Structure 1
Amino acid sequence: MSAPTILEKIYTQRQKDVEVAKATPGTKPEDIQTYLDMGLAPTQISLVPRLKSNPSIDTAEPSISLMAEIKRASPSKGEIAMSTNPAKQALIYALAGASVISVLTEPTWFKGSLLDMRLVRQAVDKLPNRPAILRKEFIFDEYQIAEARLHGADTVLLIVAMLTEELLTSLYAYSVSLGMEPLVEVNNAAEMARALGLGAKVIGVNNRNLHNFDVDMGTTSRLVDMVREKNVLLCALSGISGPQDVKVYKGQGVNAVLVGEALMRAADTTVFIRDLLNWPHNG
Structure 2
Amino acid sequence: MIDILNKIVEAKKIRVSELKKIKSIEEIKKQAQSIKTLSRFYSAIKRLPNEPIKLIAEIKKASPIKGPLKEYDVLKMADLYVSAGADAISVITEEDFFLGSPEFLIKIKENYPHVPVLRKDFIFDEYQIYESKLLKADAILLIACILSKQQCKNLYELAKSLQMDVLFEVHNEEDLEKAFFAGVNIIGINNRNLKTMEIDLNTTLRLKNLIAEDKVIVSESGISERAHVDKIKNGIDAILVGTSIVLSDNPVEKIKELLLNNKVNFSYYI
What TM-score, normalized by structure 1, do the two folds share? 0.88
Report the Cα distance in structure 1 between the residues aligned to 2:21 and 2:157, rounded to whole angstroms: 25
Counterpart in 2 of 1:271?
Answer: 253
Residues 34 and 193 from structure 1, CA distance in 2 versus in 1: closer, same or farther, beyond 3 angstroms? closer
Q: CA deviation at 1:242?
A: 0.4
**What is aligned with 1:197?**
181
Contact 2:32 2:131 in 1 (8 A): no
Counterpart mapping for 1:1-283 below 5 A: 5-24=3-22, 27-39=23-35, 43-52=37-46, 62-81=51-70, 83-125=71-113, 130-228=114-212, 230-251=213-234, 253-282=235-264
- Secondary structure, counterpart of 2:236 in structure 1: coil
The one-letter amino acid paired with 2:21 is A
The CA deviation at 1:46 is 2.8
Aligned length: 265
**Rounded Cα–Cα distance in structure 1 between residues aligned with 2:115 and 2:229:** 20
Shift of 1:212: 4.2
Structure 1 residues 29 and 234, CA, compared in 2 at 3 Å: closer, same or farther?
same
Q: 1:85–1:171: structure 2 CA closer, same or farther, 3 Å change rule?
A: same
CA contact (8 A) 1:118 1:152 kept: yes
Q: Describe the superposition over 1:102-154 as per-residue Cα deviations: whole angstroms up to 9, x where unpaired.
A: 100000000001111111111212xxxx3311010000001111111111100
CA contact (8 A) 1:236 1:258 kept: yes
1:225-262 per-residue CA deviation (whole Å, 9 max, x = no partner) reads 1114x3101110011000011111113x1110000000
Between 1:27-36 and 1:142-151, the stretch displaced more is 27-36
| Whole-Å separation in 1 of the counterparts to 2:149 and 2:34 | 32
Q: Which runs of 5 or more residues in structure 2 are unaligned?
A: 266-270
Distance 2:188 2:240 in 1: 9
Output the CA distance in 1 between the equivalents of 2:21 and 2:264: 50
In structure 2, C-alpha distance between the alignment counterparts of 1:281 and 1:46, rounded to whole Å: 21
Per the TM alignment, residue 90 of structure 1 is displaced from its structure 2 partner at its CA by 1.3
Consecutive unaligned residues of structure 1, counting only runs of 5 or more, are none
Tell me what 2:268 maps to: none
The 2-side partners of 1:194 and 1:4 are apart by: 19
Letter of the 2:86 counterpart:
A
Identify which of structures 1 and 2 has the higher relative contact order when contacts are C-alpha pairs closer than 8 Å and 6+ apart.
2
Would the aligned equivalents of 2:109 and 2:115 in 1 still touch at CA under 8 Å? Answer: no
Q: Shift of the alpha carbon at 1:281?
A: 4.2
Partner Cα distance (1:205, 1:37) in 2? 30
Contact 1:88/1:123 (<8 A) preserved? no
CA 4–257 in structure 1, closer or farther in 2 if over 3 Å, else same: closer
The Cα of 1:16 is off from its aligned counterpart by: 0.8
Cα RMSD for the two superposed structures: 1.9
Segments of 4+ moved more than 6 angstroms: none
